[in-house]
Amino acid sequence: MGDFDVRRILVDPGSSTDLLQASVISHRGCDLSGLENPGRILSGFNGAATTSLGDIVLPIQAGSVTFNVQFFVVQDLSPFNVILGCTWLHYMKAIPFTYHQMVSFLTEDGQIDLYDSQLAARQCY
């Protein structure tokens, strides 16, 4: 994300939003007071609600492809730092394969496969 390597990323095709844990912004040395649109209510699959601290747009690089992604910043996503949902999958034109625990997308250089492993998680930053 920008110039910061983020680990513990979940690609969730069931999530309608892209979420970012507030501690990631703090570790980048940024202030949370500059976030836009604070106070949005987000609802989880179990009906539990949480309040967004605001929105932030950050560049996300996966393989050789980089897109600016708008994230809802939340206090706690434990155990993940980032959840990339349908929005990111759509922009990447990616295909999630749940059985194989991987995400594939095409680039000018060919097909990129990101597997569910530490190596793949480190390739998305």
pTM of the model: 0.76
Distance CA 101, CA 98 (A): 5
| SS3 label, residue 27 | helix
Does the 9-123 domain belong in CATH 2.40.70.10? yes
pLDDT of residue 123: 46
Q: Which of 41, 32, 20 is nearest to 87 (CA)?
A: 20
Residue 120's pLDDT band, with cuts at 50, 70 and 90, is very low
* pLDDT tens sequence across 28-85: 667 777 787 877 788 776 777 888 888 888 888 887 888 899 998 888 766 888 888 9
Domain ranges of the chain: 9-123
The residue-averaged pLDDT of 97-108 equals 84
Record the tokens describing residue 113, joined without a space: 């496969």
